[in-house]
Chain A
Amino acid sequence: MVTQIADIENAHTMCVLVDNEPGVLARVIGLFAGRGYNIESLTVAEVNIVDNLSRINIVTSGTPMVIEQIKAQLERLVPVHRVSDLTVEGPHVKREVALVKVHSSGEKRVESLRIADIFRARTVDSTNVSFVFEIVGDTGKLDAFINLMVPLGLIDVSRTGVAAIARGVTVLEHE
């Protein structure tokens, strides 16, 4: 059977500028849960203290019709100023931070340090039997690094989720 373009689910990175007020994150998450949309990653932080605005970055996936619907549903929320689908709108940068804990000794311990060096991960904590690496990059790079650490004594991972921004002078503006 031929898969139609309309049926293909793609990941999209969306940025949402919202009033930094109580409950606004619950509205966004509730919308996704209530309407059965996926959230693959979600980050939120205040980005404008003067106007009291927060930016939510969401990685979601769906068919083109579902993605259009997600954007429209987000725009419908009253405290939302603007929604931008970076995946549709153009070139953009996505970054994520992970803290990766490895428990090992001997050759494995040395190998983990070597790989960390290749990936330009920083060692932010060390004991005689463990390291915590800090790594910054896009989701794929972090996934690759973490996979490599599995046989080398990986015991814990903490990831921030994706922060994203458009390349060039394009901004996520409010009025």
Chain B
Amino acid sequence: MSKNQLSGAQILLKALNDQGVDVIFGYPGGAVLPIYDELFKQNKIKHILVRQEGGAVHAAEGYARSTGKVGVVLVTSGPGATNAVTGLLDAMMDSIPLVCICGQVPTHLIGNDAFQEADTTGITRPCTKHNYLAKDIDILARQIHEAFLVAKSGRPGPVVIDLPKDVMMAQGDYISSAKVIHKSYRPQIKGDISKIEEAVKVIAGAKKPIIYAGGGVINSGPQASQLLNQLVQMTDFPCTLTLMGLGALPASDKHFLGMLGMHGTYEANMAMHDCDVMLCVGARFDDRVTGRTDAFSPNSTKIHIDIDPSSINKTINVDIGIVGDVGHVLEDMIKVWKSGQNRCDEKSIKSWWKTINKWRERKSLSYDKDATVIKPQYAIERLYELSKKHNEVYITTEVGQHQMWAAQHFHFEHPNRWMTSGGLGTMGYGLPAAIGVQLAHPKALVVDIAGEASILMNMQEMSTLVQHNLPVKVFILNNECMGMVKQWQELLHGGRCAESYMQALPDFVKLAEAYGGVGLRATKKEQLDSVIGEMIASDRPVIADIAVDPKENCFPMIPSGAAHNEILFSAADKLGAEVSEDGMVMV
């Protein structure tokens, strides 16, 4: 044994240092104790102890999404790993770079149903981008470096390293990341220039174009958002963003039509439906966006830029598919555009804007501003207005009506400021995600816009906030029901609201105090501003319990299985026809 050899646990920490990791989120247990022992002996990497492993993964997601770096998780074997599964799939669906290190029982016990044993690589195979069972100390360092490479490059995603305890304690050699070249993994970064030229031609000829951009723009880095902005200004094209893409184009930009999809604006969805050229940039034609696929944007030539070849022609057939990183492709596209002295059909674009502005006048996000009760939309508008003076504002959400209202009424001028569970729709995401965001941005105002049902799914993480002095603000739109479930039951199930009422809710003010945070409450409209003000001013974790109108539903809405032009504006709008059976089975 050479003198330079290290234990597996030491190799892990050295590799994490090499990768520039400054914080990991985790929870100890028997199978990871050698790693915790090494963590104890050093000061470079900060460990954030969560209260349940699911929280660790969401926290790492929040960290990753707000910084663009890889989030790192450390959990023990068996239940530690299985508790992490939901977060891993969440990161998979939303393309978030994570490395999750799971302890495992020693190699000679694997397969013996040992205490706290789980087939972690088997369980996580379909919900990770890749995973490793690290049985060999000699290639451990290589595997860790590979895991970071796979997690952050190409279409980002979560990678699991399942590390048996005996390998943590075995001795082996370290190799640095510079020496690791992956054998097979080669994501395509640059787009095919001939296809880009073809796309530019189509764009130049467009009469009713739309740019539909998504999370791929955010994932590509801030530069990609600037390029998108440049393209929009250059062409004067309207642009809509997906839930994942909010912030990629400043919400205040006049070309921004708002979010599209099931709860998107009328103008965004109508423009998608009626356009003649659609430029999809880093989005994936998700079912929340397309509605009924056979009625989706029937008369358009579609161009799709995506780093993941499997996203192209998956649900919607496109005319030009460009595989590559959004930033690189947009850069080339702008170059080609400029070099060819391309000009848009200004007259047609102008008349297209006229049509769009008519749709805008419909004011699809309007609500009853004169109501005496607190409308949830109003609460978010006030939160937005009152948080404006803060330099850096980051918003996380849980999942449900409040999430959609936040997406509609909170406006994002920059990328990486909006963290929400889009693909998987994980209730309980927002509070732990806010932990990761606040850690990465200690001076920022970090607000978890929550519902009273979702927040209870990971409420225990309040304890983490208090332990680590993280002044996250939890802004609960409390309507005393699972709003989105109830909304669907009202729309599609004859108003039979089975199990969607939250009975025996806790007193959130007392609950905040019990954890050692600050509890605030607004039940009347006139209390709202002062409660928000007090919440923002506090340097401690706060729960603000806002009693909102329980009758309010989230509109506009494209019912499941309907087309973009079959949008509902309010509860008073009757469904055009009975929702078909095909529609009823959709979620």
Interface residues of A (CB under 8 A from B): 18-19, 22-23, 26-27, 30, 34, 65, 68-69, 72-73, 75-76, 78-81, 174-175
Contact = CB atoms under 8 A, between A and B. Distances in A.
Given A78-B150, A80-B184, A174-B184, 13 more contacts: A23-B121, A23-B125, A23-B133, A26-B125, A30-B125, A30-B126, A68-B313, A69-B313, A69-B314, A73-B310, A76-B309, A78-B130, A79-B183
A170 to B, nearest CB: 20
A15 B136 CA distance: 29
A65 B317 contact: yes
Interface in B130-189: 130-131, 133, 150, 183-186
B94 interface: no
A30 to B, nearest CB: 6
A80 B129 CA distance: 13
B312 interface: yes
B309 A34 contact: no
A81 B310 contact: no
Which one of A19, A23, A30 has the highest number of Cβ atoms from chain B below 10 Å of its Cβ?
A23
Question: Which 10 pairs between the two chains have the least Cβ-Cβ distance?
Answer: A72-B310, A78-B130, A72-B309, A81-B184, A73-B310, A78-B185, A34-B126, A76-B310, A30-B125, A30-B126
A23 B122 CA distance: 8
Nearest to B135: A22
Which one of A18, A30, A73, A78 has the highest number of Cβ atoms from chain B below 10 Å of its Cβ?
A78
Nearest to B186: A175
B308 interface: yes
A79 B184 contact: yes
A78 B130 CA distance: 7
Contacts of A81: 183-184
A19 B125 CA distance: 16
Interface string B94-132: 000000000000000000000000000110011001110
B308 A65 contact: no
Contacts of A34: 126
A166 B317 CA distance: 29
A75 B308 CA distance: 10
A69 B125 contact: no
Given A19-B184, A78-B185, A72 B150 contact: no
A78 B314 CA distance: 20
Contacts of B186: 175
Contacts of A76: 308-310
29 contacts: A18-B184, A19-B184, A22-B133, A23-B121, A23-B131, A23-B133, A26-B122, A27-B125, A30-B125, A30-B126, A34-B126, A65-B313, A65-B317, A69-B310, A69-B313, A69-B314, A72-B310, A72-B312, A73-B310, A75-B309, A75-B310, A76-B308, A76-B310, A78-B150, A78-B184, A79-B130, A80-B184, A81-B183, A175-B186
